[in-house]
Amino acid sequence: MRVALTRAEEDIRKDKPIFERASLKVVELPLIEEVPLDFEVPDEEFDYLVFLSPRAVRSFLSRHSPKGSKIVAVGEKTKRAVEEFGYEVWAMPENYYGESILKLMAGKGGKVLLPRSDVGREEVIEGLRALGFEVHTLSVYTVRPMIYHRDTLIERLNLADAIFFASPSAVEGLLANLPKEEASSLLAGKIILCIGKTTKEHLYSKLSLQCLTPEKPTVEGVVSLLKSLARSLH
């Protein structure tokens, strides 16, 4: 089975061996690029530092050293990214969705710094503020669509039996290259996988297409799901 990976090039390089070890052939189709932004950290102390992605970790910790903040990391990869910089993660939610962060932080209080993309979702921020936290967001990177020559994009899509979207931004990257009707038509005959429910809902809202999601929103979960599908097709 051939699967198109649509994350940024750096992430595809890291994910590709995971798919290949499972005897899945990878079609590299980065639909987004993630670009670090200049930022200035507020000159004050924060009780908590919340990271929602490895990219936010790398963009922030490569240029700033936190002092005394308890670090919350969402997901195993985000946790590992923090630890690679030599910092200890204070807590990690039991799953990777926003409501788990709020459940983890309920009953606590203080100041939160949340480094993120400049197009980040607002649910976690609003939820933390509703719990009484003073939340400061900091844009540390931006996501841009990768633009292809139309024939190149269609050729790569046609090579793949399955396509994997790891974020709503990747869906938007596809739509930056193709009209909705054409994108929907090209994907209609393929196995579509989404990392989790946020991406699944975004895909459906934009293209009216359903996708499969793994039990746990990880790349390893996607690979396991694809292996199961491949076995069922034989």
Q: Which of 96-100, 143-147, 164-168 has the lowest mean pLDDT?
A: 96-100
Residue 119: pLDDT band (50, 70, 90) is confident
Query: CATH topology of 2-31+146-233 equal to that of 35-143?
Result: yes
The CATH class given to the 2-31+146-233 domain equals alpha beta
Residue 97: pLDDT band (50, 70, 90) is low
Token pair of 59 as six digits? 């963009």
Supply the pLDDT for residue 147: 97
Q: Which residue has the tokens 């480094």?
A: 115
Please give the DSSP secondary-structure letter assigned to residue 137: E
pLDDT exceeds cutoff 70 at 148: yes
Supply the pLDDT for residue 77: 84
Architecture label for domain 35-143: 3-Layer(aba) Sandwich (3.40)
Domain boundaries, the chain: 2-31+146-233, 35-143
Is residue 112 a contact partner of residue 48, using CB atoms and an 8 Å limit?
A: yes
Residues in the chain: 234
Per-residue pLDDT averaged across 11-17, rounded? 94
Supply the pLDDT for residue 66: 87
Residue of higher predicted confidence among 75 and 202: 202
| DSSP string over 8-38 | -HHHHHHHHHHHHHTTPEEEE---EEEEE--
CA–CA distance, 77 with 81 (Å, rounded to integer): 6
